[in-house]
Amino acid sequence: MLHILRPALVLALTFTLITGLAYPLATTGLAQLAFPTAANGSLIVRDGKVIGSDLIGQAFTADRYFHPRPSAAGTGYDAAASGGSNLGPTSRALIERVAKDASRLREQAPVIPIPVDLATASGSGLDPHISPAAAALQVARVASTRGLSEAAVHHLVEGATEQRTLGILGEPRVNVLRLNVALDASQSRP
C-alpha cells in the first residue's frame, strides 16, 4: 500500500512546493525588480505618507477638489464591496439617483452638457478616472473655491490628462487623485 501512496504524496508535495511557493516567489521577485511601483499597488505618497493608489478611486466631496464619478461600491469607494449596483435601466432607484446627480451638476454648469461619467457609476465602483469633459465641467467650481484662475486649473487638468494607451486603446482620461495632488502641490509652491 505504501508503494502506491508514496509517489502520489511525493508528487503532491513537489507540486505544492513548485506552484505554491517557488512560482509565487519567483513572479513576485521579478515583478519587484521590473515594475516595483506597480507590484506594490501603484501607491501615491505625499510627505512620506501613502495617500492612495493610482488604481482605486477615492471619494472627494469638498468643493476645492475635483470629484470622481459616483460609486456603487458599498458606501462609496469601498474596496471591500467592489461592484456595480446591479440596477437595470428601468430601475426607479437608478433613474432617481441619476436625475438627482444630473440636476446637482446642472447647477454648476447650466449650459454645458453633463458628461455621462459624472452621472453614472462604473462597473467596479472604484474607477479612479473621469473623462476630460467631466474634469472641465468642474474647473470653474475648483478655481473659484481655491481662488485660482480658471486658466491655471485648466492647465493642471491638461497636464493630468492621460492619452489613449498605445494611441488606440481606451479613451483619454484624468486620474482624479493625481489631479487633486497636483492641485494641492500647485498651491503649496511659493
Q: Are 136 and 158 in contact (CB under 8 A)?
A: no
pLDDT at residue 27, rounded to an integer: 94
Rg of the chain (C-alpha set):
23
Give the type of residue at 157.
V
CA separation for the pair 65, 170 (Å, rounded): 25
Q: What is the pTM of this model?
A: 0.77
Q: What is the C-alpha end-to-end distance of the chain, expressed in Å? A: 80
pLDDT at residue 135, rounded to an integer: 92
Q: Which residues of the chain have pLDDT under 70?
A: 74, 188-190
pLDDT at residue 189, rounded to an integer: 57
